[in-house]
Amino acid sequence: MTCEDEKGRVFIVEMQLFDFKHFIHRAKFYAFHKFNTMVHKGRYRFNDLRQIYSISFLAGRAFETSLYHQVGTIKNQKGERIDDQITYIIVELDKFKKMLPEIKTDLDKLLYTMKLTDTATPKVKLPDFWAENWLEEALKELDKANLTPEQRSQYEMIIAGNMSEKLAIELEIKEKAIIKSLKMKVLNEEQIASINDVSVEEVSALAEKVSKGEV
């Protein structure tokens, strides 16, 4: 996929599942092809070239380095950059091992999401950062049309299972708040029900448990 931003910068995005050994040559081929289309033919002018970013997401490993995210440009023997008109950004998902508590940056959030949507089970806790606008929009674009019936069912079970768990936690917190209010004996049952957005019957049932010392 190729796209441009408002500054005219070109982004070539590729996702690859297999054949990692020679992928960099294909990435160079795509980048150089785009580069050639920018050069004014005949006079070969290079004064108005836009930056090209070749972004590759690999399911496996392509390099010996332990880095899961690499940015490459042309550098000299001292590691000093001499050209960044073409930048290669390479992500090897197999090397990304961070757990949810370790996720801090937007890149980590994206990679965690990519791995989670591919390997999640109904017991996996959905991350809170999925509510962030940019990720929420990305997830809305998730193409479920290509999923098999079994994969679609598993995906829906993941969402349903996590939503049920979240609801159960919210109900537990609300119940504790109601019990605390009943024990304080400051508000009546109608007021407690209104504040906690529950029915008076639910509050009365908990009040009976409080009176019996069951909670």
Instruction: Express each pLDDT in 101-149 by its tens digit.
Output: 899 999 999 998 888 766 555 555 668 888 888 887 777 666 554 555 6
**Strand, coil or helix: what is 161?**
helix
User: What is residue 78's predicted lDDT score, i.e. its pLDDT?
Assistant: 93
pLDDT at 82 over 90: yes
pLDDT tens per residue, range 25-59: 888 988 998 898 888 665 667 777 899 999 999 98
pLDDT at 95 over 60: yes
Closest among 122, 118, 6, 13 to 57, alpha carbons compared: 13
Token pair belonging to 43:
């006079």
**Strands of 10-16's sheet, edge to edge?**
2-4, 10-16, 52-58, 81-92, 69-75
Prediction pTM value? 0.59
